[in-house]
């Protein structure tokens, strides 16, 4: 099982970079529509309906994964193929790179309205008053965050729990977008989703930061600065996860991120991450390159983790 899972994860990572057929977006889009449909029926300004919403939809995704795993339990080739397809469907590495590259082009050519429109689908911050530096800062932060959320987290949970982990981690990420606690309407309804997302992202976010440190030299960045920013600048961050990989990206690219952020519900003063210069369009391009490197490293690390965990399970069974 462990070898099949490892092979499937690697094949899925390869497919994410090589096969960008529109059909891969349909399951995530269908899940998003289902989440919004359920939310419209049970919404109330209270945490309990939100908990039902998060539990039912995440549980459904995990259950589908369990069925897929059970159907291929004693067929390694089919299990590898199923894991590869599930990995390909949930990973967002190519999408992050494509949108990030478009953001860099828009900023480089002065198409700030295009950059603002693209960022609106990625982040809930208000960008109407931001200049090139401000938009570049948000772009780098968003590339970093989505790398952790849409690449590292599914791979980490896929290594630990196979297809159920892949589908469950991606489902939680989608639900966080649908019922964001930063939106006043979902402050109470989205509480369970926010807490579940924090739990799911707790270790993957730190793994993403570590992989950012390791991958920084590949894009001409500083591994030492990435390490220092990650360990130093996230202590005062209000989220247990959000600033970790952003700080590592800031240090790796030797720029400053964080600071004042305007959301629809108000202004947040976030810690400054990194101690370099202000970012520009060129740094967004380098953030995309770093995101790709982190994705490849995460693919290799997840396959290795799947093999190690599988070997430990076999050792415990023999010991019994």
β-sheet bridge partners, residue 255: 277
Q: What is the mean pLDDT of residues 105-122?
A: 91
Separation of CA 221 from chain center = 21
Please list the alpha-helical segments (H only) found in 269-280: none
**Res. 151 pLDDT band, cuts 50 70 90:** very high
85 vs 121: CA distance, rounded Å: 26
Q: Give the per-residue pLDDT at 219.
A: 96
**Contact status, residue 63 vs residue 207, Cβ threshold 8 Å:** no
Q: Give the per-residue pLDDT at 264.
A: 66
Q: Give the per-residue pLDDT at 110.
A: 92
Write the DSSP symbol of residue 278: P
Query: What does pLDDT average to over the chain?
Result: 90
**Contact status, residue 121 vs residue 110, Cβ threshold 8 Å:** no
Which tens digits make up the pLDDT trace of 9-47? 999 999 998 776 666 777 888 898 999 999 989 998 899
**Contact status, residue 258 vs residue 235, Cβ threshold 8 Å:** no
Q: Give the per-residue pLDDT at 21.
A: 63
**Res. 8 pLDDT band, cuts 50 70 90:** very high
Is the per-residue pLDDT at 83 higher than 60? yes
**48-49-51-55 Cα dihedral, nearest 10 degrees:** 140
245 vs 109: CA distance, rounded Å: 28
23 vs 313: CA distance, rounded Å: 36
281 vs 39: CA distance, rounded Å: 38
**Contact status, residue 99 vs residue 117, Cβ threshold 8 Å:** no
What is the pTM assigned to this prediction? 0.93
Q: Give the per-residue pLDDT at 57.
A: 95
Is the per-residue pLDDT at 1 higher than 70? no
135 vs 143: CA distance, rounded Å: 12
Q: What is the mean pLDDT of residues 258-280?
A: 83
Q: Which of 56-70, 100-114, 115-129 has the lowest mean pLDDT?
A: 115-129
Which tens digits make up the pLDDT trace of 212-240? 999 999 999 999 999 999 999 988 778 88
Q: How many CB atoms lie within 10 A of CB 177?
A: 15
Q: What is the mean pLDDT of residues 296-312?
A: 93
Is the per-residue pLDDT at 182 higher than 70? no
Separation of CA 206 from chain center = 12
Q: How many CB atoms lie within 10 A of CB 207?
A: 22
């Amino acid at each position: 099982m462990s070898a099949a899972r490892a092979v499937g994860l690697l094949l899925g990572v390869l497919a994410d970079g090589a096969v960008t057929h529109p059909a891969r977006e349909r399951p995530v889009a269908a899940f998003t529509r289902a989440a919004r449909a359920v939310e419209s029926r049970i919404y109330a300004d209270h945490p309990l309906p939100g908990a039902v919403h998060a539990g039912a939809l995440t549980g459904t995704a995990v259950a589908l994964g369990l069925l897929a795993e059970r159907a291929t339990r004693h067929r390694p080739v089919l299990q590898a193929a199923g894991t590869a397809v599930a990995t390909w469907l949930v990973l967002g590495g190519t999408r992050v790179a494509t949108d990030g590259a478009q953001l860099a082009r828009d900023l480089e050519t002065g198409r700030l309205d295009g950059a603002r429109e693209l960022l609106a689908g990625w982040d809930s911050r208000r960008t109407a008053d931001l200049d090139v530096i401000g938009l570049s800062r948000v772009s780098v932060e968003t590339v970093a965050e989505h790398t952790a959320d849409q690449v590292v987290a599914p791979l980490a949970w896929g290594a630990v729990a196979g297809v159920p982990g892949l589908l469950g981690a991606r489902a939680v990420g989608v639900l966080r977008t649908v019922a964001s606690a930063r939106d006043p309407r979902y402050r109470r309804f989205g509480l369970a989703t926010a807490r579940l997302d924090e739990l799911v992202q707790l270790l993957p976010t730190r793994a993403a930061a570590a992989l950012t440190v390791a991958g920084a030299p590949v894009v001409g960045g500083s591994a030492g600065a990435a390490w220092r920013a990650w360990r130093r600048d996230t202590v005062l961050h209000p989220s247990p996860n959000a600033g970790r990989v952003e700080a590592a990206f800031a240090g790796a690219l030797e720029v400053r991120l964080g600071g004042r952020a305007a959301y629809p519900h108000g202004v947040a003063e976030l810690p400054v991450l990194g101690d370099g210069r202000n970012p520009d369009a060129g740094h967004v391009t380098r953030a995309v390159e770093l995101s790709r490197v982190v994705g490849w490293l995460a693919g290799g690390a997840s396959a290795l983790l799947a093999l190690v965990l599988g070997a430990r399970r076999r050792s415990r069974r023999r010991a019994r």
